[in-house]
């Protein structure tokens, strides 16, 4: 299958798309991995991102080898927030505290 240079229209809403480098976040076994400089196409209307087959393959290979095949470009500190006590909702029954 020949990779097309640019998909013509958004598969979701049939609008035009533009190429861009994006960042994607991948959760694997409870850890967050961030991959930058990912070539993608972004829909002008719904902003959905689509990857070519070779990009999808590269991301899948990274994921399959546990991100051990290349060195991280940099590391970032990610703040983690909690909604505990900020949402009034009864805990689901069957989970007594
Ligand atoms: Zn779209």
pLDDT in tens, 28-81: 999 999 999 999 999 999 999 999 999 999 999 999 999 998 999 999 999 999
14 alpha carbon – ligand 1 mean position (Å): 6
60 alpha carbon – ligand 1 mean position (Å): 23
Cα-based distances in Å from 13 to 5, 33, 55, 87: 20, 29, 22, 35
Residue 54 — φ and ψ, nearest 5°? -70, -30
Q: Taking the mean position of all CA atoms in its chain, how far away is CA 10?
A: 18
- Residue 72 neighbours by CB under 8 Å, 6+ apart: none
| DSSP one-letter code for 9 | B
Give the global pTM: 0.72
Strand partners, 40: 20
How confident is the model at residue 63, as a pLDDT?
A: 92
56 alpha carbon – ligand 1 mean position (Å): 19
Element (H, E) at 40: strand 31-43
């Amino acid at each position: 299958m020949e990779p097309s240079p640019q998909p013509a229209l958004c598969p979701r809403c049939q609008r035009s798309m533009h190429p861009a480098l994006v960042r994607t976040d991948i959760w694997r076994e409870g850890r967050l991995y961030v991959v930058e400089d990912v070539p993608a196409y972004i829909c002008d209307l719904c902003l959905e991102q689509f990857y070519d087959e070779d990009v999808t393959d590269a991301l899948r290979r990274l994921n399959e080898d546990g991100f051990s095949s290349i060195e991280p470009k940099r590391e970032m500190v990610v703040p983690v927030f909690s909604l505990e006590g900020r949402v009034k909702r009864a805990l689901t029954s069957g989970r007594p505290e």
